[in-house]
Structure formats: C-alpha cells, structure tokens
Structure 1
Amino acid sequence: MKWSEICIHTTNEAIEPVSNILHESGASGVVIEDPQDMIREETALGEIYELNPEDYPEEGVYVKAYLPVNSFLGETVEEIKQSISQLSSFDIDVGKNLISISEINEEDWATAWKKYYKPVKISEKITIIPTWEKYTPVSTDEIIIEMDPGMAFGTGTHPTTVLSLQALEQYLKEGNQVLDVGAGSGILSIASVLLGAEHVYAFDLDDIAVASTLNNASLNQVENKISAKQNDLLKGVEPGADLIVSNILAEIIVRFTKEAYHVIKPGGYFITSGIISGKKDLVRDQLISSGFEIVETNKMEDWISIIARKPGQ
C-alpha cells in the first residue's frame, strides 16, 4: 500500500492539537521531529536516537503523519489544513504552519519510524523501553515501563510526559486511588501502578487511546489495576481520588479544575502538565480560583508542570 506523508511545520505549543487533528483525520502514525531532541541526545543516559540534523527544522517542529493514498486524500488534506488554521482562534500559536506532502511505501514507514524510539531513563527510578528493544536494568529498584506506541502515540520522552512522571514519582503514595485524565497511551496510568497506586481509572475521549491504554497495561502486566474507559474529562466521576494526573493542553485543563477539586480528597494532589510556558498563569490562576493551593511549578524546555493540592488533612 502507498501512504502519503503529510508534514506540518509548526510550534511546540501546537504539537498536541495538531497531532489530534491528524489522528482524527485517519492518520496511521504521527512522528514529532523536534530540534530539542538533538540536545536531549547529548545529555541523556545512553543512546536515545540516531538522528540526522538535516531532518530537523532550525526553529519550530515538524509533525508528520501518514495517510493512505486514495480518492479522498485531497479532501482530507484540505480539511486538515483548515482545522490547523482554526487553532489560532483558540489562541494557539501554529507558527509557520507550512504543509508539505510526499509519498512513502508502507514497508519503509513500518521500519523507519522505530528509529525514534529507544530505551530512555526518564527519572530517578523510571526507564521507558519500546517493546522491540532489549534492555538490562542498571539497578534493582529501577522501574521498567514497556510501551508499544503503535503508530499513533509516543513512548513517553516528550517533556510534558517526563514532567508528569517525575511528579508522580514524588507525590504518589502507596495505596493511592489515581485518575489519569487524557490517558493517551496509558503511560501515566502504568507508572502510577508501578509506583504503588492501588488502582487507576484512565479516561480519554478517544476510544483508540482507551484501547492503547489497555494494550500497554497488559504488556506491563498491570491490567488488573487499571480501568480505562471513554469519558469526557471528569464528567460523571464520583469523588474519592487521592491523586489526579492530566497531561493535556492548558486550554483543556482550565475547563475541569472545579470538577477536579470536587472529585479529589482533601490533601490530595492534582498534577497538571502539557502547559506551554505562555499559558502558565492561565492554569495557575484557574487552579487557585477553584480552591487549590500551588505546591510546585516545574519547567522543561518550553513546557510547564504545575502540582496543586486540595487543602485539608
């Protein structure tokens, strides 16, 4: 089968919404080519990527997706262009927003994309490995998360995910009940269980994300402690969570901070990530307005994670 590679030259801030647009348009794979990866390769423990600098933009990022070549391709590409352009109305900087199309064979894609995913140590304890890589733990207390990103979700090396994992490692307590809002590939749900959570309820509006969470939970043999289902943020969720983690856009986080405050127990933590630097105050102010106290704010590259706490206990 022939596939068409669509490449969008955009900004770090627009990665998540652009990726979502591509996925909803039927993309069979998304790759992020971020020049910051070149820096991370030099500073990380061990080899992460075998990267060619010529593949990367001097500024911004490339978001690439793969669509089947068929009679609807032209119409699909036009819809993608319109949807991405409309992101500006949500105060999302799409940058250059240059779009190019090229053709690629399925067998070339199926093997080439895996070069982007190698074992990587995320935090003091956590190392993420893709399913096709062999890895020997370097310490007895190392937590290994095995991920199969399929051709739609990342393996956890994006700064927003790293910030979320580091916060979970610090604030999650043994026996916690955890809610993962916008679960995606399920990596934060899996990490929560491996860090000691009693049970995790993973929510995502995308049914493919729910299936990915369940698949990755099974790979890591924690499926009995993760309940994943399609849900719109925290709608209909009963109170009783010890910790909520959400790695999604700032514009989405501010929509459910009041529900999060209602659902979480007194003394519980709300870990938010996926926040571009320019939206930090927006999220911070909304959390405070909803009743939370800000415990910590962390930054990695252009991304922010805010840990909030519900007063009490």
Structure 2
Amino acid sequence: MPWLQLIIHTDRRHADAIDDALLEVGAVSVTLQDDADQPILEPALGETPLWDATRITGLFDADIDTAAVSLELLAQLPEPPTDLKWEQLEDKDWEREWMASFKPICCGERLWICPSWQAPPQADAVNLMLDPGLAFGTGTHPTTFLCLQWLDQQALEQKHLVDFGCGSGILGIAALLLGARQVIGVDIDPQALLATRDNATRNGLPTDAMPVYLPADAPTPQADIVLANILAGPLVELAEVLSAQVVAGGKLCLSGILATQAETVMAAYPAFAFDPVAQKEEWVRLTATKVR
C-alpha cells in the first residue's frame, strides 16, 4: 500500500501541538525524531523529553488531497510552521527490511547470536537463535553486547542466575547455552516474558530452565550471578533488591549505564568489589564480586 509523508521541522515548544494537529487532520501515525544530532540517552523516570530541534513526520494514505490537508493543518496551529514538505514513501515489506539488517553477531570465543531465520555461520559454536519480537535485546546494542561478551568468558556450569529486565531473554538464554543450570527471568513488560519463553523454546531449552515473572510475582532466589541490563536510575533504585539476591562470593553484571554514570551506580553497591569498567562507545558494563 503506498503512503505519503508530511515532514515538518520545528522545535521543542511547538512539537506537541503539531503532533496533535497531524492526528486531527488524518495522519495514521506521527513520528518525532532528533533533527540536530542531540541524543537523549536516558530520560528520567516518567519523562518523555523532546529535542530542541525536532523533525515530525505524519504518515497519510496516498489518496488524500495534500493541499487541503496542509491548509487544514495550518489553520489549527496558532504558530503555523513555514516549512511543509510532502514526500511519497516507498512501499516496502518493513518486517523483511528489518530482518535483512539483523545479522549474526560473534560475542566472544564461543558465543554467536543468530537470527532465527538464518543458518549459523559456525555450526559448532554456541549458537543462540533469536527472534526478539517486540522485546529489547538483539546483541547489537553496546550494553547487550558487553554483557554477552562477559558471559562468554565465565565458567557457568551448574550456576543459578537471575536476569532482571530479561527483554528478549537473550542474556539468560545465552547463559543456559553456555552451561548454566537455571535462569530466572524478570521483566515489567508482559511482551518480554512472551518473547523470552518463545526464544527459550526456539533454542531447545526445557520449560523449567528459564521461568519468567513480572516483578510483583518473582521469587527472591539466591543466585550465583545476577544480570541487570536496564538503566542507571533503576539500577540505583533496585540496588538493595539485586544485592540481596547474590550469594556471598557471587557475581553481579550491570549495564545500560553511560560512562558518566558508572561511579554513581557502583556507589549504590557497597557490598561488591568491582572489576575494571568495560566500555563500548558511551556505554559501560560493570561487573563485581560480592565480598560482604
């Protein structure tokens, strides 16, 4: 099905009004993007921040009257934008486009993350076959890659783990394929729990190898390793909960943290001796051993 998109360059002050007006005049979706290379890497809890320079794109059916829509849109806005640009959007199978961009990823000496629709490049490696669905975690993001790289280096045989913020299940499933005995997955998103179950089954794991829970329903096990690839703010808020789940001498692996936030996160875990910080781009991974 062909589409038209209306592109508007604006600023933070006018973005919400334009967003609402586009929906009022018939846009089937509205996308807001950074228009000046100003990344927002970790918004505060409950915040939906916008960029100083914002590009807004409204998506419309191709058979609309663009002139009429433009006039109606401008009439709704107290400060109408001066730059409206209509473009035809190429009709694509967007699911296939995404699938084509997801390639196998080598995460160490043993471990590969492979799209479930492609054959693994090394049949004798530890190959995690992944379809993330709507959940976070493919191995392409620096935080996930750093955690997978660390897991590849660990002796996981018969270990019990917790994967807090399990997303697609990628970290917990990797640990199981690398020899762990059981992983408990926890996530606030029910879609993540579905994705984790599906990916565990896809990798031939028994149903009891990685039980998954919403936080309110999760047990509080004593684990050899606790993994949490979320964000710095929640890692600080959850420090007491996560620390209590690690056995004496057990390990902690934290990510989703910007390099500038590392000291703050480490300070929230006084019972742990931290290893040197591992960094990829602006993101870091923190690993530590429980010493008291």
- TM-score, with length taken from structure 2: 0.71
CA 1:72–1:152: 2 relative to 1, 3 Å: farther
- Structure 1 residue 306 corresponds to structure 2 residue 292: no
The answer to whether the 8 Å contact 1:244/1:270 transfers is yes
CA 1:134–1:95: 2 relative to 1, 3 Å: same
The match for 1:215 is 198
- Determine helix, strand or coil for the equivalent of 2:211: strand
Q: CA shift at 1:186, angstroms? A: 0.4
Give the number of the structure whose residues are more often helix, by fraction.
Answer: 1
Counterpart amino acid of residue 100 in structure 1: I
Alignment equivalent of 2:113, drawn from 128, 131, 134: 128
CA 1:5–1:121: 2 relative to 1, 3 Å: farther
Counterpart amino acid of residue 236 in structure 2: V
Counterpart amino acid of residue 87 in structure 1: P
Unaligned stretches of 5+ residues in structure 2:
10-21, 35-39, 60-88
CA 1:76–1:237: 2 relative to 1, 3 Å: farther
The match for 2:57 is 101
Alignment equivalent of 1:230, drawn from 211, 214, 218: 214
Alignment equivalent of 2:276, drawn from 289, 296, 299: 296
Q: Deviations over 1:135-160 (max 9, x none)?
A: 3416x3x2101111225544211110
Separation in structure 1 between the aligned mates of residue 100 and residue 171 of structure 2, nearest angstrom:
23
Structure 2 counterparts to residues 17-96 of structure 1, below 5 A: 87=43, 96=52
Q: CA shift at 1:227, angstroms? A: 0.5
Separation in structure 2 between the aligned mates of residue 4 and residue 281 of structure 1, nearest angstrom:
47
The match for 1:194 is 177
Unaligned stretches of 5+ residues in structure 1:
10-68
CA RMSD of aligned residues (A): 3.7
The answer to whether the 8 Å contact 2:189/2:214 transfers is yes
Separation in structure 1 between the aligned mates of residue 133 and residue 49 of structure 2, nearest angstrom:
28
CA 1:284–1:102: 2 relative to 1, 3 Å: same
The match for 1:241 is 223
Separation in structure 2 between the aligned mates of residue 80 and residue 240 of structure 1, nearest angstrom:
43
The answer to whether the 8 Å contact 2:143/2:284 transfers is yes
- Determine helix, strand or coil for the equivalent of 1:287: coil
Separation in structure 1 between the aligned mates of residue 32 and residue 204 of structure 2, nearest angstrom:
40
- Determine helix, strand or coil for the equivalent of 1:173: coil
Counterpart amino acid of residue 244 in structure 2: H
Q: CA shift at 1:298, angstroms? A: 0.6
The answer to whether the 8 Å contact 1:179/1:202 transfers is yes
Q: Deviations over 1:20-56 (max 9, x none)?
A: xxxxxxxxxxxxxxxxxxxxxxxxxxxxxxxxxxxxx
Separation in structure 2 between the aligned mates of residue 97 and residue 228 of structure 1, nearest angstrom:
41
The answer to whether the 8 Å contact 1:297/1:304 transfers is yes
The match for 1:149 is 132
Which one has the largest radius of gyration? 2
- Determine helix, strand or coil for the equivalent of 1:226: coil
- Determine helix, strand or coil for the equivalent of 2:255: strand
Counterpart amino acid of residue 288 in structure 2: A
Number of residue pairs the alignment of both structures matches: 243
CA 1:96–1:167: 2 relative to 1, 3 Å: farther
Alignment equivalent of 1:170, drawn from 153, 156, 170: 153
Q: CA shift at 1:73, angstroms? A: 8.0
Q: CA shift at 1:80, angstroms? A: 11
Q: Deviations over 1:119-175 (max 9, x none)?
A: 12122211111112223416x3x2101111225544211110111111222235211
CA 1:218–1:127: 2 relative to 1, 3 Å: same
- TM-score, with length taken from structure 1: 0.67
Q: Deviations over 1:167-196 (max 9, x none)?
A: 222235211110000000000011010111
Separation in structure 1 between the aligned mates of residue 48 and residue 32 of structure 2, nearest angstrom:
18
The answer to whether the 8 Å contact 1:214/1:223 transfers is no
Counterpart amino acid of residue 176 in structure 1: K
